[in-house]
Amino acid sequence: MPLDMAKYRRLFLEESAEHLGEIGHALLALEKELAAAEAIDTVFRMAHSIKSMAASLGFEGIAELAHRMEDRMEGVRRDGRVRGPEELALLFRALETLESMVATVADDREPAPADPALLVALGEASPAEGGASAAPAASRVDPPKKVRP
């Protein structure tokens, strides 16, 4: 039986709005304290969740941007802190872009691909703030193939 994708689209819009709000609050907390562990974890989990929902609905642009944000936050989690104002500004920019893309879905339009420059920036660290947090998507591998007996 095919899934009722209209229902999941509604759920996506509801849950994404909540998640984007949580990311916003978490980034504001990180603005005050760059090592706020709970805020770092929240941004990571919310980006992950948006990625999975968007991919399920075929919103590839949203899924890709959320994936890059998740990867970036995985690096932040490893480091235990956001590296500085530049990295925080990049995360705010990613949030604003995600909000705009989700709003496009709410308007019954297909979201455009995310700005390639933003995707690249999320995949690499700024020289002023130190080493890379995440590899570009092209260098990653897919989940393990289902070859086990």
Partner 1 sequence: MARILIADDASFMRQMIREIIEPEGHEIVGEATNGIEAVDLYKELSPDLVTMDIVMPKRSGIDAVKRILADHPTACIVMCSALGQESLVMEALQAGARDFIVKPFKPDSVIATLKKVLEKAD
Q: What is the 3-state secondary structure (H, E, C) of 24-66?
A: HHHHHHHHHCCCCHHHHHHHHHHHHHHHHHHHHHCCHHHHHHH
Least gap, CB of 97 to partner 1 (angstroms):
19
CB closer to partner 1 out of 127 and 145: 145
CB closer to partner 1 out of 11 and 128: 11
CB closer to partner 1 out of 51 and 83: 51
Least gap, CB of 83 to partner 1 (angstroms):
21
CB closer to partner 1 out of 12 and 97: 12
Q: What is the 3-state secondary structure (H, E, C) of the chain?
A: CCCCHHHHHHHHHHHHHHHHHHHHHHHHHHHHCCCCHHHHHHHHHHHHHHHHHHHHHCCHHHHHHHHHHHHHHHHHHHHCCCCCHHHHHHHHHHHHHHHHHHHHHHCCCCCCCCCHHHHHHHHCCCHHHCCCCCCCHHHCCCCCCCCCC
Least gap, CB of 85 to partner 1 (angstroms):
27
Least gap, CB of 11 to partner 1 (angstroms):
5
CB closer to partner 1 out of 86 and 99: 99
Using CB under 8 A, list all residues that contact partner 1. 1, 3-4, 7-8, 11-12, 15, 41, 44-45, 48-49, 51-53, 55-57, 67, 70-71, 140-144, 146, 148
Least gap, CB of 29 to partner 1 (angstroms):
16
